[in-house]
Amino acid sequence: MPEETRVDVLIVGAGPAGVMCANALAAAGIRVKIMDQRPSRVVSGHADGIQSRTIEVLQSYSFAERLFKEGHQMHMFAFYNPDSDGVLVRTGRSPAINAPTARYPFWILLHQGGIESIFTDSMAGHGLTIDRPVAPALIELSNDSEQLADMFSYPVKVRTSPGVGAVER
């Protein structure tokens, strides 16, 4: 029989949004569990850019220093397209700033795995780790009206199964 865990919030997916949410909730003292079907974090190339306003948000979590240390500042975008002979040529440039009043006039480039590591390291400080590889298999909602009305009850059950790349034992 699988172990039963009671949490206030279950987060399915440990990408940038999932780990940011889990970290914030854990820091606020909320009982949270986060799971992901992938056997390990993403190691390269998905969500690799952090906009200037997002840098400000991450600074509020005291992550900006690590972003600056591990990432690279991008101040300009360059656009390339094929010319009439099919040769790639630069067709435009644009400043990376998307919010003229932002504190940081640039983006930070850091691969998604690096961004996720910043959050997972912080989560570890709150005793929270990502369950991998695990995915929800069945969600059960109680039909008991009293249980559904009680804000301290746990009327939702989520049964899990091994995620992508998992080995059943």
For the chain, the structural domain boundaries read 7-48+111-169, 51-110
pTM of the model as a whole: 0.79
The whole-number pLDDT of residue 23 equals 94
The whole-number pLDDT of residue 168 equals 46
Q: How far is CA 82 from CA 8, 77, 94, 95, in A?
A: 52, 17, 18, 22
Residue 79 structure tokens: 């656009």
Cβ neighbours for 150, distance < 8 A, ≥ 6 positions apart? none
Look up the CATH number of domain 7-48+111-169: 3.50.50.60
The whole-number pLDDT of residue 5 equals 87
Question: Would you say 52 and 99 are in contact if contact means Cβ atoms under 8 Å apart?
Answer: yes
Looking at residue 2, its amino acid is: P
Cβ neighbours for 68, distance < 8 A, ≥ 6 positions apart? 108
Which parts of the chain sit beneath pLDDT 70?
1-2, 44-45, 164-169
Q: How far apart are CA 3 and CA 39, in angstroms?
A: 20
Q: How far apart are CA 119 and CA 39, in angstroms?
A: 17
